[in-house]
Structure 1
Amino acid sequence: MRLIWAGLAVAGLYSGYWLAGTALLQRGAAMALEGARAEGRGDAEALQTGGFPARFALNLTRPELADPLAGWHWSAPSVQLWAPGWRPLELHLDTPPEQQLTLGGQKFMLSNSLGTGSLRLGLAPDLPLTGAQAELRDVALRPEGSAEPTLAAARIDAVAELTDAPATYRITAGITDVTLPPGTMARTLGAPLPDKIDALTLEATLRLDAALTGATQSAPPRIEEIGLQTLSLDWAGRGLSASGALKITASGQPEGTIQISTAEWRDWLDIAVAAGWIEARRLPALTGLGSYIAQNNGGVLKVPLAFQNGRASLGPVPLGSAPVLQRQ
């Protein structure tokens, strides 16, 4: 009998814990939704809680997100935001197989066979972000009324983990079998590349001027440093990898050097000339220089991509102004 009463007591305590957690989740979601509506950045027809006993779950009917200035709008029939009952600060998001996306006035259908994401928050007043993950499968972006995708990918994965260093995150990401719209490379670059990228992978660390949190922040943290362990590209048998470190100035421009390596450097030189990045008259000299450097590295050409004083250069070739990686 004592075991029965003990079991009932535990069940009652857990039920109270679940009801309190669910009420807090619903209240927070309602406040966030109210703020998004006021700013014209989001909406939803209904919020409904559930998931007892295994999880805290919030179902949103017809959610919408938008950025009027950037010109995009996203909507879906429904999404579910949930957290395991025993880990309430581990938030998961499950998306439906079909969503709607508007970019620059053009409407698209965004589809996937799997679309999930998660955030892990720390137990502190500002709810520091300790990790994040996204997983997508069989992604396709189709113009409204079209059966053919404009953009597709077989797999997209991304993971961010807070390291022991302050406000520093380890990033790993990968994307495979990316299909671009037919003729993209010919139209945009005039380059002899197919409209399919086999794989792109990234391993890096990102240091910010403040940690990301689940609490409201007046402004997003500024990127201070990027440590690129490896960025690897496989495009129709042409490989390319990069590594290095960059510091980001107060104006958002990079300072530092990225080392680029490739065994297919002759192909990339031809592509750079076809795209207009390198003048054709420089090709013989650069080919001779590349051969000299590569013969001492097993046929692999290693060349620095340098950013200094707002300018960029690839080896001895000036590329012009350095990009702005983050606007302040």
Structure 2
Amino acid sequence: MRLIWAGLAVAGLYSGYWLAGTTVLERGAAMALEGARAEGRGNAEALETGGFPARFALNVTRPELADPVAGWHWSAPSAQLWAPGWSPLELHLDMHPESQLTLGGQRFTLTNSTGSGRLSLGLAPDLPLKGVQAELRYVALRPEGSAEATLAAARIDAAAERTDAPATYRVTAGVGDVTLPPGTMADALGAPLPDRIDALTLDATLRLDADLSATAQTTPPRIEEIDLQALSLDWAGRGLSASGGLRITATGQPEGTIQISTAEWRDWLDIAVAAGWIEARRLPALTGLGAYIAQQNGGVLRVPLAFQSGRASLGPVPLGPAPVLQRQ
């Protein structure tokens, strides 16, 4: 009999815990939705809680997200935001397999076989970000009224996890079997590259000037340093890898050196010339120099991509102004 009463007491306590958690989730979502509506950045037809007893769940009917300034709008029939009952600060997002996306006035249908995300927050007043992850499988972007996708990928993965160092996050990402719109490379670069990327992966550590958190921030944290452990590209048998470190100045420009390595350096030189990045008259001299350097490294060419005083250069070749990586 005591076991029965104990079980009933535990069930009652958990029911109260679940009810309190779903109430907080529902109120927080309602406040966020109200703010998004007021700013013209989001909307939803209905919010409904559920998931008892295993999870806290919020079912969203016809969610919408938008950025009026950038000119994009996204909507879907439904989405679900949920957290395990034993870990309410580990939020998950399950996407509908089909949604609508408007870019620059053009409407697209976005499909995926798997679309999910995870956001882990720390137990502190400002809800510090512990980690975030997104996973998409067999993604396709198709213009309205067309049966053919203009952009597709077999997989897209991205994650950021806080390290033990203050305001420092490890970022990993990867895409595979990406199909670009026909003629993209020819139109954009005039380069002899197919409109298909086999794989692109990234492993880097970012140090910011402040921790990321779920609370409202007047300005987003600024990136101060980038430690690029590995960046690799496989494009139709042409491989490229890079690693190095950069410091980001107060004006958002990089300072430092990234070491680039490739065994297919002759192909990349031809592409750089076709794209107009390197003058054609420089090609014979650069080919000779590349052959000499690669000969010393087993056929692999290693050249520094250097950023200094607002300028960029690839080995001995000046590339012009350095890019602005983060505007203030």
Normalization by structure 1: what TM-score?
Answer: 0.99
What is the aligned partner in structure 1 of residue 231 from structure 2?
Answer: 231
- Counterpart Cα distance in 2 of 1:219 and 1:18: 34
Q: Equivalent residue for 1:70?
A: 70
Secondary structure at the counterpart of residue 69 of structure 2: coil
Partner residue, 1:137: 137
Match of 1:41 in 2: 41
- Structure 2 counterparts to residues 69-218 of structure 1, below 5 A: 69-218=69-218
Q: Specify the code of the residue in structure 2 equivalent to 1:231.
A: L
Q: For the residues of structure 2 that align with 1:27 and 1:171, how far apart are their CA atoms?
A: 32
Q: Percent identity?
A: 85
Q: d(CA) in 2 for partners of 1:142 and 1:136?
A: 16
Q: Which amino acid aligns with 2:126?
A: D
Shift of 1:158: 1.2
Shift of 1:51: 0.3
Q: Please give the per-residue CA displacement for 1:170-223, whole angstroms capped at 9, x wherever unaligned.
A: 111110000001111111111111100000000000111111111111111111
2:21 aligned partner: 21
SS in 1 for 2:29: helix
Question: Partners of 2:275 and 2:48 in 1: how far apart?
Answer: 52
C-alpha distance in 1 between matches for 2:286 and 2:234: 23
Encode CA deviations 1:64-110: one digit per residue, 9 max, x unaligned. Answer: 11111111111111100000000000000000000111111111111
Quote the residue 1:278 is aligned against: 278
Instruction: Specify the SS of the correspondent of 1:20.
Output: helix
Which whole-Å CA distance do the structure 1 matches of 2:82 and 2:219 have between them? 26
2-structure distance, mates of 1:69, 1:251: 23
Query: Where in structure 1 are there 5+ consecutive unaligned residues?
Result: none
For 1:253 and 1:49, the matched residues in 2 are separated by: 46
Amino acid at match of 1:24: V
TM-score by length of structure 2 reads: 0.99
Please tell me the residue identity of whatever aligns with 1:9. A
SS in 1 for 2:31: helix
Please give the root-mean-square deviation of Cα atoms over the aligned residues, in Å: 0.6
Inter-partner Cα distance in structure 2 for 1:74 and 1:225? 33
Gaps of 5+ in 2: none
1:327 corresponds to 2:290: no
